[in-house]
Amino acid sequence: MIKSMWWKFLGIFLVLYSIIAGLLIEVPALPVIHQTIRNLFYHVPMWFSMFFMLGTSLVFSIRYLSGFRMKDDLIASGAANTGLFMGSMGLLTGMIWARFTWGDFWTNDPQLNGAAVSMMAYLAYVVLRGSIDEAAMRARISAVYNIFAFMLLVIFLGVLPRLADSSLHPGKGGNTSTMGGLDPMMRLVFFPAAIGWILIAFWLLQLHNRRRALVQGVKLNNL
């Protein structure tokens, strides 16, 4: 199933649909946000796909620690790299959005700072991998750190923003959730966009892993 093509086409189709429909549909013109709300279709799916990638990375790190197969380590590190890429796209789209709604590229918002620090944790993971030469040792130690990094991600993006006194993000710091108040028309674009970008992220991960498996001479069965 992973080897088949249909989910890649589905991903392309959904992303194309969300880009075209996202620019064409009527959106509610709310104060301050106005038309920039369309960025919801591009900004939020980046974070969703980042969560999926880093979750995949966590799962394969745990699998590595329970079986010590190099294939699991390859997928775990590939997923962390892909997750970092999706996360930085999320930061970039968010910064552009912030510039036009909140007036600045960076604001002192718990969600933003949390995202930056968890990105830093995963960058530290990449540095840690680079600093150990022996492959088995690198796999084992980085798998341990990866579990810590995911814990940080959950704390920084899931827990601390909700405890914060104020936040500019919906659903955080006592604000109402996005999903509760989302326009029904926009839901028709938002959910396909999220699914589409998640599928694209998995495709990226597959390509990344296949290339690295070729370079490192690790055998990937059924991937």
Partner 1 sequence: MKEVNELILKDFRLEIRQRYAINGILLYVFSTIFVVQLCFGRIIDEKTWIALFWIILLFAAFNAVSKSFNQESSSRRLYYFTLASPLSVIISKMVYNTLLMLVLGILSLGLFSVFMGKPPLYPALFIPAFLLGSAGLASALTMVSAIASRSGNNSALMAILGFPVVLPLLLLLVKASQTSLKEVVEAGVIFRLLAAISLIDLVVVVLAVILFPYLWRD
| Residue numbers at the binding site for partner 1 (CB under 8 A) | 65, 117-118, 120-121, 124, 127-128, 131-133, 137, 140-141, 143-145, 147-149, 151-152, 155-156, 159-160, 163
* Lookup result for tokens 């900004």: 43
Minimum distance of partner 1 from residue 152's CB (angstroms): 6
Least distance to partner 1, CB of residue 120, Å: 5
Which C-beta is closer to partner 1: that of 144 or that of 185?
144
Taking alpha carbons only, the member of 95, 156, 97, 71 closest to residue 122 is 156
Yes or no: say if 196 and 11 are a contact pair by the CB < 8 Å rule: yes
Q: Which is nearer to partner 1, 92 or 151 (CB)?
A: 151
CB of 177 to partner 1, least distance (A): 21
DSSP code at position 177: P
Question: Min. distance of Cβ 141 from partner 1 in angstroms?
Answer: 5
Residues 129 and 142 sit within 8 Å (Cβ to Cβ): yes
Torsion of CA 31, 92, 115, 70, to 10 degrees: 150
Q: How far is the CB of 114 from partner 1 (least distance, A)?
A: 9
Distance from the first to the final alpha carbon of the chain = 9
Give the CA distances from residue 177 to residues 126, 154, 189, in Å, rounded to whole numbers and listed in that order. Answer: 33, 18, 18
Closest separation in Å from C-beta 211 to partner 1: 25
- Rounded to the nearest 10 degrees, the angle between the axes of helix 70-101 and helix 135-153 is 40
Q: Which is nearer to partner 1, 28 or 158 (CB)?
A: 158
Whether 81 contacts 53, CB under 8 Å = no
**Whose Cβ is closer to partner 1: residue 28's or residue 130's?**
130
CB neighbour list of residue 26: distance below 8 Å, 6 or more residues apart? 185
Nearer to partner 1 by C-beta: 150 or 190? 150
Q: With respect to partner 1, which residue has the nearer C-beta, 137 or 214?
A: 137
